[in-house]
């Protein structure tokens, strides 16, 4: 243990840690005489302190948190339920007991107002042609929802195939080509256009344009009456069962002044099989349309069909909560480093094999467990870090990153003064790996810190091995990244120690197929948390280095969020 800690904190890394705790900025300042101060009297953070405290992130405490948070008593941790009450109390009590300060005035809670909407599952989607109808069944053929706060929603319109439904000026791409789709129902493909020129869009890596959230946003901006996304497992990154499970039951949207009027009346997914039937009814071939949609000269295709749906909604208002605990810093206390993990999951919904509780043990009881153990490690340091450190357990991630978007729009501290964010979502429960995956590798200077710490652990770092799934846009770091905050999201590696080549990717695929967003995502006493421990210790040290560094972390040249950060710093007085 001593050897890799020594490597991690020697020379360039150790010296700033030692000097920072004495209120110094470098060797020159250290040699200059100065009046005694409280900061100078504070004990330094020595490498043996970091080694000892890192070891306190251990199996027993992590396992206890995971077991508690994913227990049936938590009812799947859905916002607005008793499961939320139990979960946020557990996290806030832990923050209080370890000595973190309330981050929102005298409260550990940041209110997040939500609207819960439950659509009647008896809804049907009817496709009408000149001489035939196609009635699609809820959950079996399609999943549909309305974000509008209306007890009865009627949506109908002519169907238009719009390819990938994307307008991306920076990639010289526009699927709409000026066609007016006001009042139409759009049929579109998930993910990005698969172009041979990898400099357009992300090559194999999904961009935000490929996300279903973007598809609905652009549809609303175009005045469409609805959108139908064609599901493809390999393109979406998950099977139809995930869509059916995630979209069933109560769905949450942020409370808004227009009560959802700015959203399309109808947002939906359709299976590939049902889409093929629909296209055949229109005299079109789905595979041929996919090929056409990947060409620059693609034009929207009117399908000569209409779609209609009637949705009866039950509506309630919910005051959910982000949970936030703060460790104040010293000479750079006005700059914050944030650790985040979402506490919510899917609650109690349609049973699968007799089990209706969606416990979310991996997703994301593991992330909250890591958050709590890392927070406890920071509190145990012999001196506070230079920057303040915020520990943030977020609500409603499963509903579209709502808690994170709410924090980004209503930060507890200016984002221009937020030095870095480290997000944890699904930690390693299958054993040690010789590698670390950085989602969005090359985006920020935080990657350099990960490299240094991982190297000291004897591990390598690699980019996302499944870039087509767009993980960077699917977790809670994204809303803050969009606002310019340098954000890190790591994933467990795939090179498992003592396992054959390819075993890690096989396990990822098996989890997505069998457990992702299903009741079977439950705690398993056979889980090997050695990899989670090593990753959590790494993230503790990465955050500590970010908290101690002279400068805030930065986006690297050529990244999509660097200009946003520069504008944020200019407007907000950040360094």
At 498 the pLDDT is 96
Query: Is 477 within a domain?
Result: yes
Query: Is 416 within a domain?
Result: yes
**Reported confidence tier of residue 43, pLDDT bands at 50, 70, 90:** low
DSSP 442-475: TSBTHHHHHHHHHHHTT-EEEE-S-GGG-GGGSS
DSSP 467-514: GGG-GGGSSTHHHHHHTT--EEEEEE-S-BTTS-TTHHHHHHHHHHHH
Regarding whether 292 and 399 lie in a shared domain, the answer is no
At 206 the pLDDT is 85
Regarding whether 139 and 198 lie in a shared domain, the answer is yes
Burial class from Cβ neighbours inside 10 Å (0-12, 13-18, 19+) for residue 135 reads exposed
Give the span between the Cα atoms of 520 and 152, in whole angstroms: 34
At 2 the pLDDT is 29
Q: What is the mean pLDDT of residues 161-175?
A: 95
Answer yes or no: is pLDDT of 6 > 70: no
Task: List Cβ<8 Å contacts ≥24 apart for 201-205.
Answer: 201/168, 201/171, 201/173, 202/467, 203/467, 204/467, 204/468, 205/464, 205/467, 205/468, 205/470
Query: Is 465 within a domain?
Result: yes
Regarding whether 139 and 79 lie in a shared domain, the answer is no
Answer yes or no: is pLDDT of 493 > 70: yes
Report the predicted TM-score, pTM, of the whole model to 2 decimal places: 0.88
Q: What is the mean pLDDT of residues 155-172?
A: 96
- CATH code: domain of residue 480: 3.40.630.10
- Parent domain of 549: 2-6+41-99+328-572
Give the span between the Cα atoms of 412 and 403, in whole angstroms: 13
Regarding whether 274 and 419 lie in a shared domain, the answer is no
Regarding whether 214 and 65 lie in a shared domain, the answer is no
Q: What is the pLDDT of residues 382-406, one digit of tens each?
A: 999 999 999 999 999 999 999 999 9
- CATH code: domain of residue 134: 3.50.30.30
- Of 23, 15, 4, 2, the C-alpha closest to 385 is 23
Regarding whether 287 and 343 lie in a shared domain, the answer is no
Query: Is 109 within a domain?
Result: no
Regarding whether 132 and 61 lie in a shared domain, the answer is no
**What is the number of residues in the chain?**
575
Answer yes or no: is pLDDT of 159 > 60: yes
Which of 286, 315, 344 is the endpoint of a domain? Answer: 315
Regarding whether 556 and 524 lie in a shared domain, the answer is yes
Answer yes or no: is pLDDT of 300 > 50: yes
Q: What is the mean pLDDT of residues 135-141?
A: 96
Tokens representing 49 are 């302190």
Which of 255, 285, 315 is the endpoint of a domain? Answer: 315
Q: Note whether 422 and 539 are within 8 A (CB).
A: yes
Answer yes or no: is pLDDT of 76 > 90: yes
Q: What phi and psi values does residue 388 have, to the nearest 5 degrees? A: -70, 150
**Reported confidence tier of residue 11, pLDDT bands at 50, 70, 90:** very low
Regarding whether 430 and 541 lie in a shared domain, the answer is yes
At 251 the pLDDT is 93
At 223 the pLDDT is 97
Which of 315, 343, 364 is the endpoint of a domain? Answer: 315
Answer yes or no: is pLDDT of 368 > 50: yes
At 196 the pLDDT is 86
Regarding whether 431 and 299 lie in a shared domain, the answer is no
Task: Report how many domains make up the chain.
Answer: 2
Give the span between the Cα atoms of 440 and 555, in whole angstroms: 11
Query: Is 182 within a domain?
Result: yes
Regarding whether 343 and 308 lie in a shared domain, the answer is no
Regarding whether 503 and 374 lie in a shared domain, the answer is yes
């Amino acid at each position: 243990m001593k050897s890799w800690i020594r490597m991690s904190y020697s020379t360039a890394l150790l010296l700033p840690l030692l000097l920072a705790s004495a209120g110094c900025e470098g060797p020159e300042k250290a040699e200059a005489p100065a009046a005694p101060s409280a900061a100078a009297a504070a004990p330094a953070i020595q490498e043996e302190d970091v080694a000892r405290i890192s070891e306190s992130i251990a199996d027993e405490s992590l396992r206890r948190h995971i077991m508690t948070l994913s227990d049936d008593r938590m009812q799947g941790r859905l916002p607005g339920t008793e499961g939320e009450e139990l979960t946020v109390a557990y996290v806030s009590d832990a923050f209080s007991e370890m000595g973190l300060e309330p981050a929102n005035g005298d409260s550990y809670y940041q209110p997040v107002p939500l609207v819960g909407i439950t659509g009647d599952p008896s809804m049907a989607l009817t496709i009408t042609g000149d001489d035939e109808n196609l009635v699609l069944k809820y959950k079996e053929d399609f999943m549909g929802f309305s974000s509008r706060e209306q007890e009865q929603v009627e949506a109908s319109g002519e169907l238009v195939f719009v390819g990938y439904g994307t307008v991306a000026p920076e990639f010289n791409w526009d699927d709409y080509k000026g066609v007016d789709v006001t009042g139409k129902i759009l049929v579109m493909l998930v993910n990005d256009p698969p172009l041979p020129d990898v400099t357009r869009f992300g090559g194999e890596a999904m961009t935000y344009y490929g996300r279903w959230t973007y598809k609905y946003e652009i549809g609303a901006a175009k005045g469409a009456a609805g959108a139908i996304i064609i599901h493809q497992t390999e393109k979406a990154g998950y099977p139809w069962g995930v869509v059916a499970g995630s979209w069933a039951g109560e769905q949450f949207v942020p409370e808004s002044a227009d009560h959802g009027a700015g959203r399309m009346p109808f947002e939906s997914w359709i299976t590939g099989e049902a889409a093929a039937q629909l296209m055949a009814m229109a005299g079109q071939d789905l595979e041929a349309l996919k090929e056409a949609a990947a060409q620059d000269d693609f034009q929207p295709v009117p399908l000569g069909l209409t779609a209609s749906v009637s949705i009866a909604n039950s509506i309630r208002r919910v005051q959910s909560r982000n949970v936030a605990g703060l460790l104040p810093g010293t000479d750079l206390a006005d700059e914050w480093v944030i650790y985040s993990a979402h506490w919510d999951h899917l609650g109690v919904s349609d049973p699968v094999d007799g089990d209706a509780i969606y416990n979310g043990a991996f997703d994301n009881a593991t992330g909250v467990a890591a958050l709590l153990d890392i927070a406890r490690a920071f509190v145990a340091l012999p001196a506070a870090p230079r920057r303040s450190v915020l520990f943030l357990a977020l609500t409603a991630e499963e509903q579209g990153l709502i808690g994170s978007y709410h924090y980004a729009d209503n930060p507890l501290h200016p984002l221009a003064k937020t030095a870095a964010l480290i997000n944890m979502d699904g930690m390693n429960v299958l054993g040690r790996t010789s590698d670390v995956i950085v989602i969005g590798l090359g985006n920020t200077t935080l990657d350099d810190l990960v490299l240094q710490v991982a190297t000291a652990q004897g591990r390598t770092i690699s980019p996302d091995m499944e870039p087509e799934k767009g993980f960077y846009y699917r977790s809670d770091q994204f809303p803050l990244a969009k606002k310019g905050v340098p954000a890190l999201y790591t994933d467990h590696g795939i090179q498992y120690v003592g396992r054959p080549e390819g075993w890690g990717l096989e396990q990822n695929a098996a989890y997505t197929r069998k457990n992702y967003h299903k009741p079977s995502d439950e705690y398993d006493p056979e889980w090997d948390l050695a990899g989670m421990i090593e990753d959590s210790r790494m993230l503790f040290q990465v955050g500590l280095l970010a908290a101690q560094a002279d400068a805030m972390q930065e986006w690297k040249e050529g990244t999509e969020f660097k200009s946003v950060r520069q504008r944020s710093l200019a407007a907000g007085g950040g360094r």
